[in-house]
Amino acid sequence: MRDMRRYLMQSFTLVLIVMAAVIFVRAGVKDGPWWTVQTSGIDTTLRGVSVAEFPGPDQAPVPVVWASGSNGVILQSKDMGKTWQRLRVQGGETLDFRSIQALDARTAYVMSSGDGDKSRIYKTTDGGANWKMQYTDKRKEFFLDGLACVSDIACFAVGDPIDGEFVILHTKDGQNWAQLPTDHMPAALPKEGAFAASGTCLAVDNDQEIYFATGGPAARVFHSSDAGYSWTVNSTPIVSGNASSGIFSIAVHDKGLVIVGGDYKDPERPYRVAAYSQDAGKTWTLAAQQPGGFRSAVAWVDGVTLAAVGPNGEDISEDGGIHWKHTDSLNLNALAILDIWDGWAVGPEGAIAQMKNREQYQIRDERGPGSDAAAQKGH
């Protein structure tokens, strides 16, 4: 499988450079489960996962997977999830690491959630051997919900409201974090907050476009187009009205956004749990065919395909979030997808699952009839 991936990636890159007229196209889909459990039984609830790349022995890119969760657990795999190394943060043995952002096999940020100084941001630059705490706050209202990085030095984090306004943290140099001013941010509603269930209530499209999603009395999406200095907010049709309901995850692809959530105390309820926007979050439409219940995380697989995970199963959408169909019945909290071949999801009791993309793709030369490349990828 890895040899095939390398062959296709090298072929694709070469053809792009030489012909400048080749694209990946979806050529069909096969039914079947999308997720295969690789390991479980670790004493942790995993809620954070991130996938990056590092150069393999032959310099071809190889995925590296980082996962994080309760009891201070951080895991890393460099062999497609066959084996996992336990990494430790000194002084963080009891923390609940809800979000992790990996840049490669050596560099990653991890965020813990909890009241006051239990919410922290750490960074490693040596593959997890050492971690440096970069930010925390002793205010009792301080609670971090999500972390997202644009590069190895530019990251954002979102926290629950303090004095009626959501907390936005930002680093420009990968070392020093600061809370951004909230003068131009709409006020939070009473008891409105963000959810840290998967660490994916925050999404960045580039170093300017930032989105975060909320729940409680209303399910809303905040948007900044200037790196967090001014904001707009729009309501969505996702279920809300109590402390356990709202939007739990947001995924962005250019102007296309998809949100999932529901009521985590009523996970079987399959109504108003997914919606999409095609205008950068200005307007929202409920999915015509909803996922099978509460979903805690969503991610793009390609430009039109998405995957969502939750406690009672998983779903995919092949049309940008308009229609969803059930694929699996695993209990998973979060997912991260590197490309059309490589993705992982995590859940309770240390569960880790690898994605098995059922889509089929062709390398197509668009210069004219009869010029399709021979390589095809399907699982």
**Domain total for the chain?**
2
Average pLDDT along the chain: 89
Q: Give residue 188's pLDDT.
A: 98
- Say if residue 324 is in the same domain as residue 301: yes
**In terms of residue numbers, what domain contains 302?**
32-357
Q: Give residue 363's pLDDT.
A: 56
- Say if residue 193 is in the same domain as residue 234: yes
**Distance between CA atoms of 316 and 78, rounded to whole angstroms?**
26
Burial of 175 (0-12, 13-18, 19+ CB in 10 A): exposed
> What average pLDDT score do residues 33-54 get?
91
Q: Give residue 15's pLDDT.
A: 35
**Distance between CA atoms of 290 and 241, rounded to whole angstroms?**
19
- Say if residue 10 is in the same domain as residue 60: no
- Say if residue 353 is in the same domain as residue 364: no
- DSSP secondary structure string, 23-85? EEEEEEE--S-SEEEEE---SS-EEEEEEEEEE-TTS-EEEEEEEEESTT-EEEESSTTSS-E
Q: Give residue 360's pLDDT.
A: 65
- Say if residue 269 is in the same domain as residue 331: yes
- Say if residue 255 is in the same domain as residue 245: yes
Please, what's the b/e burial string for 184-214 (b: 16 or more CB within 10 A of its CB; e: otherwise)? ebeebbeebbbbbbbbbbbbbbeeebbbbbb
Locate 378 and state its tokens: 């399907």
**Distance between CA atoms of 345 and 334, rounded to whole angstroms?**
5
Return the residue matching tokens 């569960």. Answer: 351
Asked if the model's pLDDT at residue 17 lies above 60, the reply is no
pLDDT digits (tens, 9 = 90+) for 177-230: 999 999 999 999 999 999 999 999 999 998 899 999 999 999 999 999 999 999
Asked if the model's pLDDT at residue 107 lies above 70, the reply is yes
> What average pLDDT score do residues 97-114 get?
98
CA 4 to chain centre: 26
pLDDT digits (tens, 9 = 90+) for 45-68: 999 999 999 998 888 999 999 999
Closest C-alpha to 165, from 147, 146, 189: 189
- Say if residue 104 is in the same domain as residue 15: no
pLDDT digits (tens, 9 = 90+) for 139-187: 999 999 999 999 999 999 999 999 999 999 999 999 999 999 999 999 9
- Say if residue 176 is in the same domain as residue 55: yes
pLDDT digits (tens, 9 = 90+) for 353-374: 999 988 766 554 444 444 344 3
Contact indicator for 307, 34 with CB cutoff of 8 Å: yes
Q: Give residue 377's pLDDT.
A: 38
> What average pLDDT score do residues 108-124 get?
98
Locate 55 and state its tokens: 């150069």
366: Cβ–Cβ under 8 A, 6 or more apart, which residues? Answer: 21, 22, 23
**Distance between CA atoms of 304 and 211, rounded to whole angstroms?**
20
Q: Which CATH number fits the domain that encloses residue 112?
A: 2.130.10.10
Q: Give residue 358's pLDDT.
A: 83
- Say if residue 48 is in the same domain as residue 191: yes
- Say if residue 9 is in the same domain as residue 129: no
**Distance between CA atoms of 7 and 9, rounded to whole angstroms?**
6
Asked if the model's pLDDT at residue 90 lies above 80, the reply is yes
Asked if the model's pLDDT at residue 136 lies above 80, the reply is yes
What's the one-letter identity of residue 53? E
- Say if residue 153 is in the same domain as residue 246: yes
Nearest 10 degrees: CA dihedral of 178, 182, 183, 184?
120
- Say if residue 12 is in the same domain as residue 124: no
